[in-house]
Amino acid sequence: MTLMNNKERVDFLRREHTLAREEMRVLFESMTEEDAQYLYQNAAETAREIYGTEVYLRGLIEFTNYCKNDCYYCGIRRSNRSAERYRLGEDVILNCCDNGYRLGFRTFVLQGGEDPFFTDEKICALVSKIKERHPDCAVTLSIGEKPRQSYQAYFDAGADRYLLRHETINPRHYRMLHPVELTIENRRRCLEDLRDIGFQVGCGMMVGCPGQTTDFLLDDLYFMKEFRPHMIGIGPFIPHRCTPFRDEKPGTLTDTLHLLAIIRLMHPRVLLPATTALGTIHPTGRELGILAGANVVMPNLSPADVRGKYLLYDGKICTGDEAAECRRCMELRMEKIGYHVAVSRGDSRV
């Protein structure tokens, strides 16, 4: 039996940064439009108390869409024969960073499939060259599961942060999303190693992915509460037409906004992006994300000619734009809602 109403649940969450599981379940499952507005407002105020009206920029460089994995949800899975594969050369990647630097980016996120062509030596060389040219910038890697020694080598080469979404903490659900060779145990091992080595670590999940239940989402929320990541990446699941999940329903805008806000209240200082996937399911999804407590945006810095090829899901936005256009567009979007993009590394304020 529960004695609170949803406003009281939000107040409690804001004050205590957690909520008993059954209260959280009721909040999530019985939210009215009015409750949601109250939740967003509290989450946005919490973010503003720590980060003001600054939104941090991350320049995303999608440097390879080759992947040895076969995740059922992902458009660049190895079984997708119709994906046109590409890899960016080192010079092209360094150029993207130089261009990004001129545009005010102070964090570069190197993201790619798990591509064996990019050996640890190649990744380390890349990281140290970027840090040499731009010592005032942070380098974030998002290149999947690796042995601990590899993570250590990237860190020693100068990488600051690592994004590796856990996707779902429930082993049965994990198995519904991935082939047997990928396990949540190894994913957890990777996340622990990364944090142990000294990276600022990001985890997260897709909202509304196939098989997800409220219970699984609650498991994810409490797992993250315990893990205390520096960054949390969440966005709606969006089906890709060349994957086994082609006929599945996408995640919704409201569920994603509810979760962003709940996550902000559970982790007041966390770096929380309003993702491209959120901008894909709604024309002002990223703005709504910021107004629900997110504080990071990640415009694309990849060269225009490969953007249309890094397609994890259908309908991805910004595939035809130049970096400078995305940067300007983002500034205007943030200013429209009373925020502004910051020219800074945007480390977590701990």
CB of 312 to ligand FES, least distance (A): 8
The single residue among 31, 74, 253, 271 that binds ligand 5AD, judged by CB under 6 A, is 74
CB of 239 to ligand 5AD, least distance (A): 6
Name residues whose C-beta falls within 8 Å of residue 84's C-beta, 6 or more positions apart in sequence.
309
Q: Which is nearer to ligand FES, 74 or 266 (CB)?
A: 74
Residue 240 near ligand 5AD by CB under 6 A:
yes
Residue 190 near ligand 5AD by CB under 6 A:
no
Residue 60 near ligand 5AD by CB under 6 A:
no
Q: Which does 51 bind (CB under 5 to 8 A by kind): ligand 5AD, ligand FES, none?
A: none
Q: In sequence order, what E strands does 306-345 have?
A: 340-342
> What is the distance between the alpha carbons of residues 222 and 315, in angstroms, rounded to a whole number?
32
CA angle in degrees (0–180, nearest 5) for 263-264-265: 90
How many C-beta atoms lie closer than 10 Å to residue 52's C-beta? 12
Q: Which does 67 bind (CB under 5 to 8 A by kind): ligand FES, ligand 5AD, none?
A: ligand FES
Stretch that binds ligand 5AD, among 189-197, 219-227, 237-245, 252-260 (CB under 6 A): 237-245
Number of H helices, E strands in the chain: 14, 11
> What is the distance between the alpha carbons of residues 68 and 314, in angstroms, rounded to a whole number?
21
Residue 143 near ligand FES by CB under 6 A:
no
Residue 162 near ligand 5AD by CB under 6 A:
no
Closest CA to 154 of 167, 164, 165, 143: 143
CB of 76 to ligand 5AD, least distance (A): 8
Residue 312 near ligand 5AD by CB under 6 A:
yes
The owner of tokens 């703005």 is: 287
Q: In sequence order, what E strands does the chain have?
A: 54-57, 59-64, 107-112, 138-142, 161-163, 200-203, 206-207, 231-232, 235-236, 296-297, 340-342
The single residue among 25, 85, 87, 165 that binds ligand 5AD, judged by CB under 6 A, is 165
Residues, the chain: 350
The owner of tokens 């869409």 is: 65
Q: Which does 109 bind (CB under 5 to 8 A by kind): ligand 5AD, ligand FES, none?
A: none
The single residue among 18, 69, 99, 128 that binds ligand FES, judged by CB under 6 A, is 69
The single residue among 62, 114, 167, 255 that binds ligand FES, judged by CB under 6 A, is 114
Closest CA to 340 of 349, 350, 330, 348: 330
> What is the distance between the alpha carbons of residues 196 and 183, in angstroms, rounded to a whole number?
20
Q: Which is nearer to ligand FES, 277 or 326 (CB)?
A: 277
Q: Which pair of structure tokens corresponds to residue 343?
A: 């020219």
Residue 169 near ligand 5AD by CB under 6 A:
no
Residues from 76 through 95 that contact ligand FES (CB under 6 A): 76-77
Q: Which pair of structure tokens corresponds to residue 96?
A: 């993207």
Site of interaction with ligand 5AD (CB under 6 A) = 73-74, 165, 167, 206, 235, 237-238, 240, 277, 312-313
Where on the chain is the footprint of ligand FES (CB under 6 A)? 67, 69-71, 74, 76-77, 113-114, 144
